A and B are shown apart, each in its own frame.
Chain A
Amino acid sequence: MKNELRWGLIILFFVLIAYILPYTLLTNVTKWYGSFFVWIILTIIVIGINYLITKNWGKEK
Chain B
Amino acid sequence: MSTTLVWSAITIYVTIAIVIAFLSRTGKQNNMNSYFLGDRKMNGFVSALSYSATTYSAFMLVGLAGLTYNGGVGALGFELIYLMGVSLVAFFGPRFWKVGKKFGYVTPSEMLGDRYDSKAVAIIVAISNCIFLIPYSAVQLSGVGYLLQGVTDNAISFSTGVIIATALAIFFTYIAGIRSVAWTDSLQALFMIVTSTIVVIVLIKGLGGFSGFFGTLETKYPEYLTVPGNGFFSFINFLGLSLPWFFFSLSNPQVSQRLYMPSSLKSMKHMLMGFLIFGLIYTIVAVIWGYSALIMFPNLENADMATPLVLQSDLVPPILGVIVMVGIMAAAISTIDSILLTLSSLFARDVYGNVKRNTSDSAQLKVGKFVIPVIAALAFIFAQMEVNLIAVLSVSSSAGLLVVVPAIIGAFFWKKGTAAGVISSVVVSGLIVIILELMQMKPLGLASGLWGILISTILYITISVMTKAPEEKAKSFLSV
> Using a CB–CB distance below 8 Å, which chain A residues touch chain B?
4, 7-8, 11, 14-15, 18-19, 22-23, 26-32, 34-36, 39-40, 42-44, 46-47, 49-51, 53-55, 57-59, 61
Contact = CB atoms under 8 A, between A and B. Distances in A.
B81 A19 contact: yes
A24 to B, nearest CB: 10
Interface stretch (B30-38, B220-228, B317-325, B395-403): B220-228
Given A57-B94, A58-B266, A28 B226 contact: yes
Interface stretch (B273-281, B330-338, B361-369): B273-281
B281 to A, nearest CB: 11
Given A27-B226, A34-B226, 13 more contacts: A14-B84, A15-B246, A22-B226, A29-B225, A30-B218, A30-B225, A31-B214, A39-B80, A42-B80, A43-B280, A44-B280, A53-B90, A57-B269
A32 B284 contact: no
B276 A47 contact: yes
B84 A46 contact: yes
A43 B266 contact: no
What does DSSP make chain A's interface, helix, strand, loop or mixed? helix
Contacts of A43: 80, 83-84, 280
Contacts of B85: 15
A32 B225 contact: yes
What does DSSP make chain B's interface, helix, strand, loop or mixed? helix
B103 interface: no
Contacts of A35: 73-74, 76-77, 225-227
A27 B228 contact: yes
13 contacts: A4-B91, A7-B90, A18-B80, A26-B226, A26-B227, A32-B217, A34-B225, A35-B73, A35-B77, A39-B77, A43-B280, A57-B269, A61-B94
Interface residues of B, number: 38
B94 to A, nearest CB: 7
Given A19-B81, A39-B77, A30 B273 contact: no
A47 B280 contact: yes
Given A22-B226, A27-B228, A50-B272, A15 B266 contact: no
B264 A30 contact: no
B87 A40 contact: no
B324 to A, nearest CB: 23
Contacts of A58: 264-267, 269
Contacts of A29: 225-226
Contacts of B83: 43, 46
A3 to B, nearest CB: 11
B305 interface: no
